[in-house]
A and B are shown apart, each in its own frame.
Chain A
């Protein structure tokens, strides 16, 4: 076990969070924090990439700027380093695209950024934890700022309501998580410890306590990734929260939850896969069904995307259903594809005056660039070839089929994907084939914004053609 783990990201994000926090007192213009934040994030990314590059296959790392003795409470490999890098980059895109919208949310701009940095810190812990303690801390550090961000639009009752719901249910799930940890610890005979990779699962059927703990942990995790039937918070929260933070939550945070999930079930319970696989299968099926089906009828695009994010989570769950190499490649790809697409889509959505589907009518005429990029994002979410979304889904399906225990689940998944095409293409229709009914709205769209959107779309396409650009980092 390495001396110290992926500290660059964690420490720098934390530090930069503090910087932003104090910055709040000094920044005069409202736009300053944005630049600081972007700069800081760039710094973090560089540091993290440095670490990633210096990594050697044997897992001994040379790129750590902060050699701290952590008793292997965090571990890291190319997988989670790569993952964190992706997450950070996605966040950077979010900042660049929607920085000005963050300013619109309220007065405490720099605090918002600070909180986002803390969330990132939490994500990087959740991605690299090696003991249940760090898992717990990571999850909490990731959640608590989100409660705030959700409620940050204080005048807006929806925002308040969302915050309260999120908080109540979130801490409820925390309770469940702790119960699970306790049972795992208690049931763990031999050398009792919180280190996830020496949990003694015994042979044959799981010991009862471990079993109980496993289910509790499973539920807590499933809750974090908003999979049915523990998804109920997601639509309301995503709907109520300020759109820019919704975009952040629906992509980066959810991905963080997944990476934690996958780590836990690979390293802690991987050997007993047979005994929990059926649970995941059920949950996956439920998630796919509820997510897609409910999304079909939504009129508000924002809420529709909330449900679609649930549906996508269902697809990502396939990776946990079948934990194998394909699944890990897949989850990386999926994170990148899904996050990019969703962020791009939300970036466009934020610019709309009307969040209903009809609001998109005739967008192609008024804003061809926005229309085009939104279409690419939608195609990617649908999983049409040549977009990153397809590659992601492909890997997920390969992983699931390769596991081979529940092939009905795979067929079910693709059928649900077909349903998803139904509502994604409703938007495309609105954009291209319907005439705008309402009066032409005012757009505050800068050229830079457009360029960034195009870059996003281009990335999606490039990843769609050469997913190896990312995946090769897993084995070099």
Chain B
């Protein structure tokens, strides 16, 4: 199974995430798409870790990437808590999470 497949898969997820971010207007869904992007990155890292485990002799070769993924999840969790808090606050004030209405600041 060529590594490329995994790369392409990850890229596909990533780009779908990007498309979502660009096209959707609901802040929450945009945020979810961003999570999707993060996961794409995770998948890629894991795939590479696997790759490196094979390529290099020592058994724990690829595991640093997995640790990294672990940290990414940690960060993601933290981000989510903050992000949702902000979204909620926004919703409290405007009763909408539509990013199209975020245009008080421009030019």
List the B side residues contacting A164 at CB < 8 Å.
27, 86-87, 90, 99, 102
Q: How far is the CA of A176 from the CA of B38 in the complex (A)?
A: 8
- A461 located at the interface, meaning its Cβ lies under 8 Å from any Cβ of chain B in the complex: no
- B12 located at the interface, meaning its Cβ lies under 8 Å from any Cβ of chain A in the complex: no
Do B37 and A163 touch across chains, with their CB atoms under 8 A apart?
Answer: no
Do A172 and B106 touch across chains, with their CB atoms under 8 A apart?
Answer: no
Contact of B68 among A160, A172, A181, A191 (CB under 8 A): A181
Q: Which residues of A, 126-166, contact B by the 8 Å Cβ criterion?
A: 132-133, 136-137, 140, 144, 147-148, 151, 154-155, 157-158, 160-165
List the A side residues contacting B41 at CB < 8 Å.
175, 178-179, 181-182
List the B side residues contacting A185 at CB < 8 Å.
45, 48, 65, 68
Do A158 and B105 touch across chains, with their CB atoms under 8 A apart?
Answer: yes
- A240 located at the interface, meaning its Cβ lies under 8 Å from any Cβ of chain B in the complex: yes
Q: How far is the CA of A182 from the CA of B51 in the complex (A)?
A: 12
Do A192 and B105 touch across chains, with their CB atoms under 8 A apart?
Answer: no
List the A side residues contacting B93 at CB < 8 Å.
154-155, 157, 160
List the B side residues contacting A165 at CB < 8 Å.
102, 105
List the B side residues contacting A154 at CB < 8 Å.
89, 93
Do A240 and B105 touch across chains, with their CB atoms under 8 A apart?
Answer: yes
Q: How far is the CA of A164 from the CA of B102 in the complex (A)?
A: 9
Q: How far is the CA of A162 from the CA of B89 in the complex (A)?
A: 12
Q: How far is the CA of A160 from the CA of B88 in the complex (A)?
A: 10
- A183 located at the interface, meaning its Cβ lies under 8 Å from any Cβ of chain B in the complex: yes
Q: How far is the CA of A185 from the CA of B82 in the complex (A)?
A: 29
Most buried by A among B40, B78, B102: B102
Given the interface pairs A164-B27, A171-B83, the reply to whether A151 lies near B38 with Cβ below 8 Å is no
Most buried by B among A163, A182, A191, A193: A182
Do B82 and A144 touch across chains, with their CB atoms under 8 A apart?
Answer: yes
- A358 located at the interface, meaning its Cβ lies under 8 Å from any Cβ of chain B in the complex: no
Contact of A194 among B37, B44, B68, B104 (CB under 8 A): B68
Q: Which residues of B, 7-38, contact A by the 8 Å Cβ criterion?
A: 7, 10, 14, 17, 21, 27, 30-31, 34, 37-38
Contact of A147 among B21, B27, B82 (CB under 8 A): B82
In the complex, the number of residue pairs spanning A and B with C-beta atoms less than 8 Å apart equals: 131
Q: How far is the CA of A132 from the CA of B34 in the complex (A)?
A: 20
Q: What class of interface size applies to chain B in its complex with A?
A: 35 or more
- A174 located at the interface, meaning its Cβ lies under 8 Å from any Cβ of chain B in the complex: yes
The minimal Cβ–Cβ distance linking A181 to chain B, given in whole angstroms, is: 7
Contact of A157 among B14, B17, B65, B104 (CB under 8 A): B104
Q: Which residues of B, 67-88, contact A by the 8 Å Cβ criterion?
A: 67-68, 71-72, 75, 78-79, 82-83, 86-87
Given the interface pairs A157-B104, A171-B34, the reply to whether A183 lies near B44 with Cβ below 8 Å is yes
Most buried by A among B3, B21, B42: B21
- A106 located at the interface, meaning its Cβ lies under 8 Å from any Cβ of chain B in the complex: no
List the A side residues contacting B40 at CB < 8 Å.
175, 179
Contact of A192 among B10, B47, B56, B89 (CB under 8 A): B56
Q: How far is the CA of A85 from the CA of B7 in the complex (A)?
A: 42
List the B side residues contacting A176 at CB < 8 Å.
37
The minimal Cβ–Cβ distance linking A132 to chain B, given in whole angstroms, is: 8
Q: How far is the CA of A469 from the CA of B51 in the complex (A)?
A: 51
List the B side residues contacting A191 at CB < 8 Å.
56
Do A175 and B64 touch across chains, with their CB atoms under 8 A apart?
Answer: no
Q: How far is the CA of A462 from the CA of B13 in the complex (A)?
A: 54
The minimal Cβ–Cβ distance linking B14 to chain A, given in whole angstroms, is: 6
Given the interface pairs A151-B86, A191-B56, the reply to whether A175 lies near B48 with Cβ below 8 Å is no
Do A144 and B79 touch across chains, with their CB atoms under 8 A apart?
Answer: yes
Contact of B21 among A158, A172, A189 (CB under 8 A): A172
Q: How far is the CA of A140 from the CA of B17 in the complex (A)?
A: 20
Q: How far is the CA of A167 from the CA of B86 in the complex (A)?
A: 8
Most buried by A among B17, B31, B86: B86
Write the chain A residue with the least CB distance to B6. Answer: A186
Q: How far is the CA of A151 from the CA of B7 in the complex (A)?
A: 37
Given the interface pairs A133-B71, A157-B104, A182-B48, the reply to whether A174 lies near B86 with Cβ below 8 Å is no
List the B side residues contacting A163 at CB < 8 Å.
86, 89-90
- A77 located at the interface, meaning its Cβ lies under 8 Å from any Cβ of chain B in the complex: no
The minimal Cβ–Cβ distance linking A139 to chain B, given in whole angstroms, is: 10
Contact with A along B44-68 (1 / 0, CB 8 A): 1101100110011000011011011
Most buried by B among A154, A174, A192: A192
Chain B positions within 8 Å of A, measured between CB atoms, are 3, 7, 10, 14, 17, 21, 27, 30-31, 34, 37-38, 40-42, 44-45, 47-48, 51-52, 55-56, 61-62, 64-65, 67-68, 71-72, 75, 78-79, 82-83, 86-87, 89-90, 93-94, 99, 102, 104-106
A136-B75, A164-B102, A189-B55 are known; give 11 further A-B pairs, CB within 8 A: A137-B71, A158-B105, A162-B105, A167-B82, A168-B21, A168-B34, A174-B34, A175-B41, A179-B14, A182-B41, A186-B51
Chain A to chain B: the 7 pairs with minimum beta-carbon distance, closest first: A175-B37, A178-B41, A186-B48, A236-B105, A192-B52, A182-B44, A161-B102
Jot down 19 A-B pairs with beta carbons below 8 A, ordered by A.
A136-B68, A144-B79, A147-B82, A147-B86, A157-B93, A157-B104, A160-B93, A161-B104, A171-B34, A178-B38, A179-B40, A181-B41, A183-B44, A192-B52, A192-B56, A193-B64, A235-B105, A240-B104, A240-B105
